[in-house]
Amino acid sequence: MQLTILGTAAAEGWPAPFCRCIACQEARSRKGPDIRTRAGAIIDNVIKIDFSADTVSQLQRTGRDLCNIHSLVFTHQHSDHIVPTELEWACEPYTVTPSKVPIKVYGNCVVTGMIRAEFPEPLDVNLDVQPDLQPFVEVELEDGTRILPLPADHCEHALLLRIRRPDGKTIFWGHDSGRLPAETVSALGQAGPVDIAVFDCTFGGQPSNNRGHLGVDGVIEMVSALRTLDVIVDATTVVATHFSHNGGLLHDDLIRTFAPHGVNVAHDGVTYTV
């Protein structure tokens, strides 16, 4: 299984457009992995997670397209995770090679409401909006992938995703969220080990205080809790992402800070293969 993380910033991107803080200025000068765009990922070239306004440029930069995507899965309704108007590019004339079968779209009730408001029924875009995702209610995608939505500590109805591909490989997609709710930790414990675990690290070097995101300390705490339950095992690839300039730690600082804890620091376009 291949997970490509296209964007690794918090909502405003890093450097942020209206900001000249030290972390933004330093990122402008260092470039490379310190340039971070908004959230989104692709799994095995067939499943897209979230769709920020940066998606088009992310695909251009990585030489990819979404022509093989059969399912688009949203975590929550914040604008760095969904911009409904951007979904129009899935239909003609914005593509000359539209998907023959409409792309299935999964999200919570707010997300599906936003899409239906943008594209009134019958949907005049090449999308097939599925019943709202509910916490703890597993859904099966058309290729046999199973997704278990779990509550986040973030905004109302925000979901984290335990994704099991048909070959048995699994991802815990753990952002956006503060410290994981107890029932989410418990459900993960019952579901068994994962191959990749991805965490929210918006606050970087600032302390986690459950304002809906984590910093380095909270990621380490959550990794430790999930190790105790054998959700994270020695073979698990653990990844931190969704970084804000307000966290202060640049890419190299994050790598140094996380290295003793076995946590990988994502950068835009990184692919993890398990």
Q: By rule CB under 5 A, what string of x and - marks binding of each residue 116-145 to Zn ion?
A: ------------------------------
Nearer to Zn ion, 78 or 104 (CB): 78
Give whichever of 165 and 175 is closer to Zn ion, judged by the CB atom. Answer: 175
Among 5, 6, 24, 42, which residue interacts with Zn ion (rule: CB under 5 A)? 24
Q: Residue 174 or residue 258: which is nearer to Zn ion going by CB?
A: 174
Q: Which is nearer to Zn ion, 125 or 265 (CB)?
A: 265
Nearer to Zn ion by C-beta: 24 or 42? Answer: 24
Token pair, residue 5, equals 């993380």
Residue spans of beta strands (DSSP E) within the chain: 2-7, 40-43, 47-49, 71-73, 103-106, 127-129, 139-140, 146-151, 159-164, 170-174, 196-200, 237-241, 263-265, 270-273
Residue 209: CB atoms within 10 Å:
14
* Interface pick for Zn ion out of 48, 157, 245, 251 (rule CB under 5 A): 245
Helix, strand, coil percentages in the chain from 3-state DSSP, rounded to 5: 25, 25, 50
Applying CB under 5 A, which of residues 34, 50, 80, 268 lies at the interface with Zn ion? 80
Using the minimum distance from each CB to Zn ion, give the nearer residue, 52 or 126. 52
On whether the CB atoms of residues 70 and 142 are closer than 8 A, the answer is yes
Q: What is the distance between the alpha carbons of residues 251 and 14, in angstroms, rounded to a whole number? A: 11
Give ∠ CA 87-89-92 in degrees, rounded to 5: 130
**Using CB under 5 A, which of 176, 195, 253, 268 touches Zn ion?**
176
Contact between 78 and Zn ion by CB under 5 A: the answer reads yes
The reply on whether position 19 binds Zn ion by CB under 5 A is yes
Kindly state the smallest distance separating residue 219's Cβ from Zn ion, in Å: 15
Handedness of CA 195, 147, 160, 107 (dihedral sign): positive
| CB half-sphere exposure, 135, CA atoms < 13 A | 16
Question: Judged by CB under 5 A, which stretch of 9-17, 161-169, 229-237, 265-273 contacts Zn ion?
Answer: 9-17
- Does 21 bind Zn ion (CB under 5 A)? Our answer is yes
Applying CB under 5 A, which residues contact Zn ion?
Answer: 16, 19, 21, 24, 78, 80, 176, 245
